[in-house]
Every structure is written in structure tokens, then in C-alpha cells.
Chain A
Amino acid sequence: MSQLREPAFDRAVALVLRIGAFGCFFVMLAGLIDGWFMTGRIPSDIERAGVLLMLATPVVRVIVACFLFFREKDYKYGWISLGVLIILLLGSVFGIGEH
């Protein structure tokens, strides 16, 4: 049996990705325009926010999918999503290794 064809589910996840991509685009664009008027550019807080927004988008996508799976009582995939989320968050905790 195919696991596809759940329009509402697909739309919700697509919406998260689109908001993330467009949001990030406009935030970074604002950062660039802001930077254009300054000489000796330093990374602005606006640009940093744009990058962080982009990094957060896939995480939010996993959270939303996890929530939707549990709401559909599809526990197997709910737990799998939660596992992916934990792995993602671990990556942001153990982000060291400089030498």
C-alpha cells in the first residue's frame, strides 16, 4: 500500500518550509541592504538571524510532522519523528571540536 496522498499533511509541512525559505530570504535581504550602507562590513545581527532561521526551518518541520503524526494516532511515525528531533537537537549541543 502506498504511504502517499495525505493532502492536508503535505500542505502543512510544505507551508512550514515555504515560510522558512521566504522568511529567511527576506531577513537576509534586509541584512544585505542594511550592510550596503556601511563600509567595512561586519556580519550584522540581521544576517545572523537569517542564517539561524534557515537552520531552524528543518527542525520546525520535524516538530510539526511529529505533532501531526501523534494527532493522527500514528504512534510509530510519531516516535520516529521525535527520534529525528532528538538527534537534531543533540547536534546543536555538541557542536564543538575546534582545534
Chain B
Amino acid sequence: MTFLLLVLGFCAGLLGALTGIGGGVLLTPILSLYFGVPIREAIGTSLVAVITTSAASSSIHLQRHTTDIRLGMTLELATALGAGVMAYLVGYFNRNFLEGLFAAFLLYSAIMILSKGGKVKPEDESSPDVNADVVIPPYEPKRYLLGLSASLVAGALSGLLGIGGGPIKVPVMFIFMEVPLMVATATSNFMIGVTAAASAMVYYRRGDILVQVAAPLAVGVFVGSLLGARMAPRIHTKIVVYLLVGVMFYLAGHLTLHLLKGLL
């Protein structure tokens, strides 16, 4: 089983780095459906993989100086609070409810990606050269209140489903706070680590992180995301994204069936 978990982590990390869609959204349902991990433990365990991915990739973004640490830290006040409180509440949630919620979220994400024509990653993201001098126009983040409120929701979703929440944070920073897209992406990535850690600690204290599952998973994710980051410029991302969407639909369907079987 350890070997399969290594492979699973590797694939999730690779796909995540290639497409910009974090691995958490795939890991939780796969752990729960095929590895017999109860949904709440699956969420807690995949949070560890989410932190690993964030730490590895955001150290690369930081080297390119595209991360707005001040903005990230400010919004983290809200994401960490939302994530911590929600992670605490999850302890009182019905497991079937969690499974249904996750299936709905998978379906929603897959449809959102399709409606955007398979574009999930800003073009400038694919620049492979770490030392390339990126020119960012001067900017001043606007509408902090809106940004903080959205971050609270993103954090709560992260604590609820064990995901990073990038698809919420990036558009909020880019559209409402008028932060350049490249900075929004890097800063979102930067925030994911703290957001996931805020909920992961609550899950850990409750015993909802299965160490023997999390370790091989994180090792696989780490190697997969490093390799994916290197391969990203040479791969036709669109094909990979459609593959991912297919997997998401399949998992949502299977999760729903599993849920119905449990209820009947």
C-alpha cells in the first residue's frame, strides 16, 4: 500500500504542477474511495500534501520576487481564521454530508474549468527561467475589506475540504484588489501553506491525519511537483487539463454512488 500511495502522491504532484490545480482536490476522494480512508481523515491527510506543495512551489516564486509578502500576510489573517474555525467545526459534521459536499465541489470545479476552455493557468506562469528578470508594473492593492472577506471564505473552504483554495484567492486579488496576475498567483501559492497549516493542526490534534498515509503521499507529491515544474513549459497543458477534468468527473460520480450506497 505504501508503494501505491507513493505513486498516487507522485501523480497528484505532477498534475498539480503541470496544471496549477492543487493535488488536494484529487487526493481526498481517491484516499477515501480506493484506500479505505474515512472522508475526514482523507481531508486531514491530504492537507499535509497541500502544505508540501505550497512550500516547494512558493519558494520558487519567492526567488523570482513575484510574491507580495505583505499582502499575503494580511489576507492570511482571514484565511487562517476561516480555516481554523471551519476545521474545528468539521469535527461535528456528518461524514455523509462531507462526502456529498466534496462530490459537489469536484463537479463544480470540473465544470468551471471546462467553461473557461481548459485555461486554468495564467500564461506568464509557464516561464521556466527562475532567474529571468520579471518586470511588474507598480501597483497598490485596493479594496482590502473585500479581499479579506473573500479570504475568510477561501480559508473556510480549505478547512472544510482539505484544498488550497487558489481558484478563489487568485481572481479576488487580480480582479477586485487590482494586483497583477503574476503576483496574485504567487501570493495565493504563498498563502496556501499557512491556510492549510491552520486547519491541519486542528485535524492533527483530533487524530484525523493518518501519519502512515501522509508520509508516502507527501514524498510522492514532493518529487512529482518538482518534476512537473520542470516539465511544465514543454507539455501541452490543455491535454493534461482535460485529462484532469475527466478524472474529476469520474471521482465525483464514484463519490456520489458511494454516498448513495451508504445511505440506502
Q: A residues engaging B (CB < 8 A)?
A: 1-7, 9-11, 13-15, 17-18, 20-21, 24-25, 28-29, 31-32, 35-36, 41-44, 47-48, 50-52, 54-55, 57-59, 61-62, 65, 77, 80-81, 83-84, 87-88, 90-92, 94-99
> Does B212 lie at the interface of the complex (its beta carbon under 8 Å from any beta carbon of A)?
yes
In the docked arrangement, what's the CA distance between A44 and B197, Å? 22
The 6 closest A-B pairs by CB, nearest first: A95-B205, A97-B91, A14-B62, A91-B84, A58-B197, A47-B215
Distance (Å) between the CB of A23 and the closest chain B CB?
A: 10
> Does B201 lie at the interface of the complex (its beta carbon under 8 Å from any beta carbon of A)?
yes
Count: A-B pairs, CB below 8 Å: 192
Query: What's the tally of chain B residues with a CB closer than 8 Å to chain A?
Result: 65
| Complex contact B70–A3 (CB within 8 A) | yes
In the docked arrangement, what's the CA distance between A11 and B60, Å? 10
Listed A/B pairs (22) with beta-carbon separation below 8 Å: A2-B138, A3-B69, A3-B141, A6-B69, A9-B69, A25-B219, A25-B223, A36-B2, A43-B212, A51-B211, A55-B200, A57-B55, A57-B193, A77-B73, A80-B74, A90-B84, A91-B84, A91-B201, A91-B202, A92-B202, A95-B203, A97-B90
Of the residues A32, A80, A91, contact of B87 by C-beta under 8 Å: A91
> Does B178 lie at the interface of the complex (its beta carbon under 8 Å from any beta carbon of A)?
no
In the docked arrangement, what's the CA distance between A44 and B67, Å? 36
For the residues of B in contact with A, the DSSP-based class is: helix
> Does B207 lie at the interface of the complex (its beta carbon under 8 Å from any beta carbon of A)?
yes
In the complex with contacts A17-B62, A47-B215, A57-B193, A2-B204 CB distance below 8 A: no
In the docked arrangement, what's the CA distance between A91 and B159, Å? 11
